[in-house]
Structure formats: C-alpha cells, structure tokens
C-alpha cells in the first residue's frame, strides 16, 4: 500500500514537471509584431529661395540717326536707320517665394543681372556740298562729318510673378511676366573740320535707366536636397532712348540726334536653394 502511494505521488510530480516544461517552451516561441509605417519625405515648392544664374542675351537696338545744322536747326542729311546687335553674356542672381496649391505653384521673383551686351555702328553726314561741309579749301574739303555710335545694356533687373503647373511633384513648368528695368549707355565721337580746315571732334555720351516689360517661360526641377535647377527664356522691351551730340567747332556747327528702340531676348540657366525641409508623412 505504501508502495502504491509512493508511485502515485511520483507520477503526479512527473506530470506536473512535464506540464511546466511545455508551458515554458510555449512562452519562448517567437512573437510577431506589425512593422511601423514607413516615413516618406514629400518635396514641396512652398518655400523662400535664393539662387544664381548665367546665360546669353540677344539684344536689338532699332536706331535712327540724323545730322542737323546746329545754328539753323535745319536737317542737312537724310536719316539713317537700322538694327544694331547688342549681344553678350550675362550673370546674376535671383530671390523669390513660392506658394503651392495642389499641382499649381504661384510665386514672386526678383533678379538682377550684369551683362556685356554691346554693339555699334557709324553715321555719316552725306549731302550736297555746302550743307554738311562748308569748306572750300584744305584737307577738309568735301570730307563728310561722321559720328561713331556705341550702345550697351550694362545691367538689367526684373520683378515678376510666376504661375506654374507640376509635371511631376519635383518638376515645375511655368510662365512669368512683369516689370523690367535696365541701364542703357550710349556714346560716340562726332568728327568734322573747322572753318580753317583743321580736324575737330568731340566725345559724347548718355546714361539712362529705362523701365519696360518682360514675359517668359521656364522649367525648374529638383536636383536633390533643397536644390533645384532651372532653364528660362525671357523677352524684354525697354522702350525708347534718345539723345543729341553736338560739334560746335565744325563748319557748319553740327548736331546729331539719335533715337533707339531697345529689346532683348535672354536664355539663362540657374540653381536655387530653397529654405526649409521637406514635408514628412507616414503611410
């Protein structure tokens, strides 16, 4: 009887130990949890930005020039006219702000440019003897007075709104237009002969700040980080510049009047740095 009791107790203890081992093994089984949602950075155009640009410009000056007798005010030579190419390189910077609404981007941008756009031609006073040149002797006899004519767009700036649509979230196609202002420099040397048939000349020049308008279009794309690159074309019209030059020591005293209508076509590329980070979203 005592043997049977001992066996029963041993059997119960063994069963309890086995059950405990099974429970421990179950607790050690791997537990699977759901992975956290991925974090995605979304590029937004809704930022302030600054940048640099460079390119080339094809300026045009539609210019006419006329010689007058400065004493009488009478025109003494036919008006000469033609186009002067004011082509050259440009370099500058821009600053702006964009606002994004879905796939549409609205912005304001201002830029300032240095250029070496310049060109020139010559004008000659050619009429019958006695009008442009009253000499009857000496080396100046029948020699027509002339003036050189040089013109340049030494700088320009624009102030423009921009309206664009997103081709992709990081590629913007836009149109732009607004105010343009430029520094126009015109100069030359007018030459003739005195009443004693001695060569005489005078340098002349004028600087003007001209306001006009600009329209254009461009493509801007994210390069990485907060950097974008752009390519842009602009057409500018600065209106009219005019002025006069005199040579009072010539025979007769001369006045040269000019009138120029100046336009410009610009193609440039640039980079912009946009302030502020991307929008972070969890999916």
Q: What is the pLDDT of residue 151?
A: 98
Q: What is the mean pLDDT of residues 130-140?
A: 89
Convert the pLDDT of each residue in 217-270 to its tens digit: 999 999 999 999 999 999 999 999 999 999 999 999 999 999 999 999 999 999
Residues 6 or more apart in contact with residue 101 via CB below 8 angstroms: none
User: Where does the pLDDT of residue 42 fall: very low under 50, low under 70, confident under 90, or very high at 90 and above?
Assistant: confident
Rounded to 5 degrees, φ, ψ at 128 are: -65, 150
Q: What is the pLDDT of residue 205?
A: 97
User: Where does the pLDDT of residue 282 fall: very low under 50, low under 70, confident under 90, or very high at 90 and above?
Assistant: very low
> Tokens 């590329």, residue?
269
Q: What is the mean pLDDT of residues 130-137?
A: 89
- Percent residues over pLDDT 90 in the chain: 78
Residues 6 or more apart in contact with residue 84 via CB below 8 angstroms: 60, 61, 63, 119, 120, 121, 149, 151, 260
- Of 76-90, 96-110, 236-250, 268-282, give the lowest mean pLDDT range: 268-282
The burial class, CB within 10 Å (0-12 / 13-18 / 19+), for 151 is: buried
Q: What is the pLDDT of residue 72?
A: 94
Q: What is the mean pLDDT of residues 96-119?
A: 97
Residues 6 or more apart in contact with residue 117 via CB below 8 angstroms: 57, 59, 86, 87, 88, 90, 152, 153, 264
| Domains along the sequence of the chain with CATH | 42-282 (2.40.160.20)
Opening angle at CA 106, ends 103 and 111, nearest 5 = 135
pLDDT at 32 over 60: no
Q: How far apart are CA 132 and CA 77, in angstroms?
A: 7
User: Where does the pLDDT of residue 31 fall: very low under 50, low under 70, confident under 90, or very high at 90 and above?
Assistant: low
The burial class, CB within 10 Å (0-12 / 13-18 / 19+), for 14 is: exposed
Convert the pLDDT of each residue in 152-209 to its tens digit: 999 999 999 999 999 999 999 999 999 999 999 999 999 999 999 999 999 999 999 9
Q: What is the mean pLDDT of residues 62-86?
A: 96
Convert the pLDDT of each residue in 270-280 to its tens digit: 999 999 876 55
User: Where does the pLDDT of residue 130 fall: very low under 50, low under 70, confident under 90, or very high at 90 and above?
Assistant: confident
Q: What is the mean pLDDT of residues 64-82?
A: 95
Q: What is the mean pLDDT of residues 67-73?
A: 95
37 DSSP 8-state letter: P
Output the six-digit token pair for 34: 């759901």
Output the six-digit token pair for 70: 């400065």
Q: What is the mean pLDDT of residues 29-47?
A: 70
pLDDT at 210 over 70: yes
pLDDT at 20 over 70: no
Q: What is the pLDDT of residue 281?
A: 46
User: Where does the pLDDT of residue 61 fall: very low under 50, low under 70, confident under 90, or very high at 90 and above?
Assistant: very high
């Amino acid at each position: 009887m005592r043997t049977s009791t001992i066996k029963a107790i041993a059997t119960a203890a063994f069963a309890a130990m086995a059950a405990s081992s099974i429970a421990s093994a179950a607790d050690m089984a791997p537990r699977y949890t759901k992975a956290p949602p991925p974090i995605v950075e979304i590029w937004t155009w809704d930022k302030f930005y600054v940048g640099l640009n460079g390119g080339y410009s094809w300026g045009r000056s539609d210019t006419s020039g006329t010689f007058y007798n400065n004493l009488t005010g009478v025109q003494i030579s036919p008006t000469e006219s033609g186009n002067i190419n004011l082509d050259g390189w440009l370099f500058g910077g821009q600053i702006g702000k964009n606002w994004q609404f879905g796939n549409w981007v609205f912005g304001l941008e201002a830029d300032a440019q240095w250029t070496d756009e310049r060109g020139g031609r010559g004008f000659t006073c050619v009429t019958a003897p006695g009008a442009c040149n009253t000499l009857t002797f000496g080396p100046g006899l029948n020699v027509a007075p002339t003036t050189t004519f040089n013109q340049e767009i030494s700088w320009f700036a624009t102030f423009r709104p921009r309206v664009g649509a997103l081709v992709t979230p990081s590629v913007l196609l836009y149109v732009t237009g607004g105010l343009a202002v430029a520094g126009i420099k015109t100069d030359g040397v007018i030459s003739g002969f005195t009443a004693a048939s001695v060569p005489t000349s005078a340098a002349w020049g004028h600087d003007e700040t001209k306001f006009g308008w600009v329209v254009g279009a461009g493509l801007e794309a994210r390069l990485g980080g907060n950097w974008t690159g752009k390519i842009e074309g602009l057409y500018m019209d600065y209106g009219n510049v005019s002025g006069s030059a005199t040579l009072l020591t010539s025979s007769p005293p001369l006045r040269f009047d000019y009138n120029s209508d100046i336009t410009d076509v610009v193609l440039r590329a640039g980079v912009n740095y946009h302030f502020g980070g991307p929008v972070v979203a969890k999916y």
